[in-house]
Amino acid sequence: MKPTEYTPPPPERYDDVPLQNVLDLRAHVTQRPAPPTRGETLETFWQKKRAPSVKLPRTKRHHTHLASMKSSFDAQKMKTHAFVQRVNLGAFPIIAAAILVIFAGVAAYGQVIGVKNKVLSLARSGYVSLQVAGAKAESHDLTSAQTALENASQSFANADSAFNELNPTLSVVVSHLPIAGSKLKSAKHLVNAARSFTDAGSVFATLAAPLTSTGEGFSSIAGFLKNIDANQHSLDTIVADVTSASNELAQVRASDIPAQYRDQVNRIQDVLPGLQGSLTNLGNGTHVLADVFGVNAPSEYLFIFQNSNELRPTGGFIGSFALMRMDNGTFKMLDAPSRGSFDIDQYLPATVAPPKPLQVIVPSWYFRDANWFPDFPTSAQQIAAFYQQARGFAPHGIVAFTPQLIEELLAITGPIELPSYKVTIDQTNFTQISQQQVEQNYDLRANNPKQFIVDLIPAITERLSKLQMSQYPQLIAVFAKSASAGDVQLWSGDATIEQQVKDLGWSGSMLTSNGDFVELVNTNIGGGKTDGVMKDVIKDRVVVAADGTATVAVEVTRTHGGTAGDPFTGSENRTYHRLYVPLGSKLIDAEGFTPMPASSYQTLPAGSKPNALLTSFEGRAFVDESTGTRINDEFGKTVFGNWTSLQPGQSATFRLTYQLPFKIVGSLDRYDLTVGKQAGARNQTFDFGLSVTDSDSIVWSSFPPGRQKSSSVSNSSSLDAAQTLSLIIQQKEK
């Protein structure tokens, strides 16, 4: 489906934006020049020594060896979607110290002794420079840290050159000595690794320099984004340096490293794959954020507030929104109506047929219910289409967030006073106060229930703009955590930007899987603001028969923790559940549901037509007569849908049993399960179990020790983010 085309609004609209809706955060934004090109000894010489990175081939699902399947899974575990992984400068002195001790143990005659002493002296110099760099970086003096890193890099470059002073014949002899030769080689690789690390740190310090400029908050962040976006080649150099260091460390023998340093060096080797991935993501991430912040050209993003207490497929009911125009540090709220999404709905025709389950509460499809698809890019296209239909132009992109993101941000900013409302909000009371203001305390005559959210956005944005640099890592961690949980999702109408968003894991796209898959998507339809007190225990039980047929039973126990009479949690929770499973799965049974009678659905207005986007993704749907379960295929999955209703204090259990479309057969086979997590969903536990017959044996799994037996595995954990579970089944010899 082609994304909605971005149509910029007329320029004259910007002239009448109220002053209170303008935040000028551009103070002292500077663009840093690209780092200077280094000479032969600091660039060209080392580029010749860098080995290319090696990508492991993906393991096929069927008929592969046990060792290769295990290593493939272990490699997958090391992937990360973090935006920035901080480089710990304290790790560099550890490498330098290991170099010193190894060289001290190299015993040879004549010229080797001289080389040893020279390298020791240079390594000590590099070690001291690294200590200085670490201290300066901790105090956010990146300019001094960069100078110290360059000094360390020069010392290690000279140390490597000293190796070349060895007489070639003597070098060959020493390299074959049982002890000295091995240590000499390991020391050389450690020198090369240390040099590559310091080179990477030096270039990164240059790129990050705008974060220490006189501007604060978003203004200095805008400078940082512009600097990296304009100097992508420098980021490529950093990735190449880290890759080179990884290759060098891989050739160091563990026995050559002094015992007191082995664990530290091993930890460095363990984090390198994640660091390489994070640095690659940094390039994509800065390009995406530069687009959102309007660093290179003005952009307009629609910020959607989704109330997860009224759960919808992408995080919650769309109550409020703000169209923000961002121009290199200036934020303008162009469109933030006090009636929220209902202000858009009044300009939409009543002739668009809503998805069938929504017809229980509305006869037409509107902006407020547009996030029907659990795949956020698809829902975003529908949101943008409705917005364009009502306003005459489309947003450049959409950012959707839940109250959980606001709570996490308030934990960083501290309490925020809103004098006009006579309230002070913080991490603990935001949800309660915002619901009271939006649902109960607004001026009924003015009829502006969403004004509180509209006024809150600039207050939080302004406070974030004044954060100190020392708080940036915490801010980055909040957004990384929120993105993995679906509490913030981003969509761009630009195809290139959108692909980078997906690569970063920020898109909220429906996950794909080559093996088993399960995701429970709950949609509150007329169930009040009750989802914040709902608790789900999801049990997934897989039974593998002797012929490889796999039968799955997914059992969900729901508990309504609300209090009768409470204005928000005391109402009935009415939810339409969709279970997404592998495409082609066959329903065997469904029980425990309360199907909606035909009389509950509203009559559609005359002239109503189906929505093209909905039709293209939902396809043909039918209802299983014996269970009342609605079945269709979408997003490469088969979907089972049905209803439950719960009063406060009640619990209920429903169960869906189905057969997977593939068999687990062969002398050795791998089972993979991807567990999706709905954006905005909370208080969910995922309990997994798999069993095999006596003819098979489970020989490996990704579960913690003690959770695996030869005939079964089991594990239970909080479903705070998507999960991937794997195990290997071997057929016993007959």
pLDDT tens for 529-556 read: 999 999 999 999 999 999 999 999 999 9
What is the structure's pLDDT at 575? 98
pLDDT tens for 652-704 read: 999 999 999 999 987 789 999 999 999 999 999 999 999 999 999 999 999 88
Give span(s): CATH 3.40.630, the chain: 298-504
Q: What CATH superfamily is the domain 516-593+628-731? A: Mu homology domain, subdomain B (2.60.40.1170)
- 371 pLDDT band, cuts 50/70/90, is very high
Pick the CATH number of 298-504 from 1.10.238, 3.40.630, 2.40.160, 1.10.3470: 3.40.630
| C-alpha 208 chain-centroid distance | 22
Identify which has the larger pLDDT, 201 or 346. Answer: 346
Query: How far is the CA of 128 from the CAs of 13, 132, 148, 204, in angstroms?
Result: 58, 6, 9, 20
pLDDT tens for 115-174 read: 556 666 766 676 677 677 667 666 667 677 777 777 777 777 776 676 555 544 434 444
pLDDT tens for 58-67 read: 333 334 444 5
Long-range CB contacts (within 8 A, 24+) of 700-703: 700/66, 700/69, 700/70, 700/727, 700/728, 701/725, 701/726, 701/727, 701/728, 702/73, 702/77, 702/726, 702/727, 703/727
Distance CA 384, CA 363 (A): 21
Tokens of 667: 């002398």
pLDDT at 365 over 90: yes
Give span(s): CATH 2.60.40.1170, the chain: 516-593+628-731
Would you give the DSSP letter of residue 605?
P
Would you give the DSSP letter of residue 215?
S
Mean pLDDT (whole number) for 38-64: 37
Pairing relationship of beta strands 586-591 and 573-582 according to DSSP bridges:
unpaired
Mean pLDDT (whole number) for 462-479: 78
